[in-house]
Amino acid sequence: MSVSKSSLSALTLGAIGVVYGDIGTSVLYAVKEVFGSGHVPFTHDNVYGVLSIFFWTLTVIVSLKYVTLVLRADNHGEGGLVAMLALASQSVKHRPVLRRVLLIVGIFGTCLFYGDGVITPAISVLSAVEGLEVISPNFKKYVIPLTLVILFCLFMVQKRGTAGIGRFFGPITLVWFAVIAGLGVMHIASHPEIMWAISPHYAVGFMWNQPGTTFIILGAVVLCVTGGEALYADMGHFGKKPIRVAWFFIVMPALTLNYFGQGALLLADPTAVKNPFFNMAPDWMLIPLVVLATMATVIASQALISGAFSVTKQVIQLGYLPRLQILHTSVKDTGQIYLPFVNWGLFVAIVLAVVMFKSSSNLAAAYGIAVCTDMLITTVLTFYVLRYSWNYPLALCIGATGFFFVVDFAFWASNLLKLFEGGWFPLAIGGAIFTLMLTWKEGRRLLNEKLRSDAIDLGSFLEAVFVSPPARVEGTAVFLTAEAGTVPNALLHNLKHNKVLHANNLFVTVRNHEVPWIGLTKRLEIESLGHDCWQVILNYGFKNDPDVPRALQQIKQHGCEINPMTTSYFLSRDTVVPSIGAGMAFWREKLFAQMHHNASGAADFLNLPNNSVVELGSKIEI
């Protein structure tokens, strides 16, 4: 697809603000954590070695793995772990055991995204506000309260959407990259020889001479690629080319200059290690730099919060979470959504992280395990896409992904050292959400099995009914049913209590598929059952917004006219009763029953008109 120069510029600017905000603010804490750990003595060779490791980490993980390889694995133009999971699982659909394993692994990676989503805003905003301590130690007591206030304001404005302030993201982040590049150049100018650290032999020499130290500091080095997953996740919003242009021409050069500038500063003044980023700035620039850094970290956090909303919606569509209230914050962009439960759940977890860990250095200990596990999972899923979806030779697939797997595994293993220092925190969050997702998926399976076992065949039932037909009333009845071809409980209740049938009866099943989008041409499948009754199946991708009334407008061409004023939507509202015995553990059944009870109403999720919905309840024991 060709992109005009003006639209490429606009998309590139947007990508800088949304995609690269997170990785752009890693300069605030990455170098500080490597040299501040005490594991690396200040010597000329060590500084050169660490800077070289930083540069080649960015090159291998971001430039080669994500920008060059993973961006190619798009699912109908969409990226991200959910899109990759759908692509990989589809590629092995004829191998049910392998497909099930990949689904579980991919869903676990998605759960870890939430753990990352808690740590990243906390460490980013906190590290920016900590710049106040460089201005004066007296500001230290205000760092945590100010961080919490900024985060609260950020989460408060989510319900208004990002359309209003989103257009400022790109320009502000572009200014940020210009400033960090300028600060780097200022210090490189006094030690230009520092640029020789780009040579890989410095990294190789450091790793060869100090393998133990290298393994330990990899857990801190990985901080320089925070947000690398966003490159792939936001591909659907901006496209591959703008993301690649932004990375190679703006983001990577700015990051490299700043990291090397911090290295030059540390060679000149080792005491600057307490906060090398803010110590790069002259005194007059400190306050503006703290303000700009705070704005940049808020933008980075915003992108992650929006990502959490989007991922949650996709996971709901895939059937791993119950329906939640989804509010659209833009009439133009359907991708701009707000989930109140996710918003405030994230905020509570982030406040907990800030209060528990108290500093960006302590949070850095918690960061890494979740993101490295996600990187490993992405690499594994990429292998299956290359091998089974694109049908590349096995040797090429192993070669293309094996190298990245070894690199990712080294970072992951190093981060395991931080497990008891705080790495358990994002894992605990991810593990809790993983338990909820698997419980919901399994509970839905058990519930559907129970409904199927008790179900009556729709065709046979209608034949029996029309032997001696009940009274027919004007209008259309739309019966929503989970299983096509079975009699909905709502129909049984309607016949039992009201003893009437509508003039037109639609039995509608909504199916969600493991593809991002399903177009209007493939939205509807219809089968006539006779007597003005139709079986309708509506197909949606995991990024589509279900809208049953709109989709049903297409059935006019099949001889069924729907008048919104005389159409009623009948839903079965089932109450789940847990039981001891077969199925899941009793505590999981109770958890599923509670999740089922608290799920957002199907009427809102399917965009049904409130004044035309009739809900009829029943109890189901699983």
- CATH number for the domain that contains residue 388: 1.20.1740.10
Type of residue found at 240: K
pLDDT band at 1 (very low <50, low <70, confident <90, very high): very low
Verify that 541 and 613 share a domain, yes or no. yes
Verify that 412 and 496 share a domain, yes or no. no
Three-state DSSP class for residue 136: coil
**Residue 348 located in a structural domain:** no
For 193-213, write each residue's pLDDT tens digit: 999 999 999 999 999 999 999
- Residue indicated by tokens 């065709």: 459
How large is the C-alpha radius of gyration of the chain? 27
115: number of CA atoms within 13 Å, CB side? 28
Verify that 400 and 540 share a domain, yes or no. no
**Residue 450 located in a structural domain:** no
- pLDDT at residue 448 in the model: 82
From first CA to last CA, the distance across the chain in angstroms is: 51
pLDDT band at 160 (very low <50, low <70, confident <90, very high): confident
Q: Which of 370, 396, 419 is the last residue of a domain?
A: 419
Mean pLDDT of 45-60: 95
Mean pLDDT of 62-91: 85
Verify that 397 and 514 share a domain, yes or no. no
Greatest Cα-to-Cα distance within the chain, rounded to the nearest angstrom: 96
- Residue indicated by tokens 């801190």: 220
**Residue 1 located in a structural domain:** no
**Residue 27 located in a structural domain:** yes
165 compared with 14, residue with greater pLDDT: 14
Measure the CA–CA gap between 47 and 159, rounded to whole angstroms: 45
Q: Are 506 and 470 in contact (CB under 8 A)?
A: no
Cβ-Cβ contacts under 8 Å for 330 (sequence gap 6 or more): 161, 163, 336
208: number of CA atoms within 13 Å, CB side? 7
For 299-342, write each residue's pLDDT tens digit: 888 888 888 888 888 888 888 999 888 887 765 555 677 889 99
**Residue 143 located in a structural domain:** yes
Verify that 62 and 176 share a domain, yes or no. yes
Strand partners, 285: none
Verify that 16 and 96 share a domain, yes or no. yes
Q: Which of 368, 393, 419 is the last residue of a domain?
A: 419
Q: Does the structure show a pLDDT above 70 at 162?
A: no
- pLDDT at residue 481 in the model: 87
Verify that 406 and 506 share a domain, yes or no. no
Measure the CA–CA gap between 481 and 106, rounded to whole angstroms: 29
Q: Are 511 and 485 in contact (CB under 8 A)?
A: no
**Residue 424 located in a structural domain:** no
Strand partners, 108: none
The pair of structure tokens assigned to 357 is 């860990």
**What φ, ψ does residue 448 adopt, rounded to 5°?**
-65, -35
Verify that 411 and 465 share a domain, yes or no. no
What percent of the chain is predicted at pLDDT more than 90?
A: 43
pLDDT band at 410 (very low <50, low <70, confident <90, very high): very high
Residue ranges of E strands in 339-410: none
Strands 500-512 and 471-480: parallel
- Of 40-44, 164-168, 252-256, 556-560, where does mean pLDDT reach its minimum? 164-168
Verify that 284 and 384 share a domain, yes or no. yes
For 563-582, write each residue's pLDDT tens digit: 888 899 998 877 888 877 77
**Residue 177 located in a structural domain:** yes
Residue 485 backbone zone (phi > 0: left; psi -120 to 50: alpha; other: beta): left
Strand partners, 525: 537
Q: Does the structure show a pLDDT above 80 at 172?
A: yes
Please count the structural domains in the chain: 2
Domain that holds residue 42: 10-302+360-419
CA distances from 146 to 116, 151, 369 (A): 22, 9, 28
Would you tell me the crossing angle of helices 96-129 and 140-156 to the nearest 10 degrees?
Answer: 130
What pTM did the predictor assign? 0.85
Verify that 548 and 415 share a domain, yes or no. no
**Residue 275 located in a structural domain:** yes
- pLDDT at residue 282 in the model: 93
Q: Which of 393, 419, 445 is the last residue of a domain?
A: 419
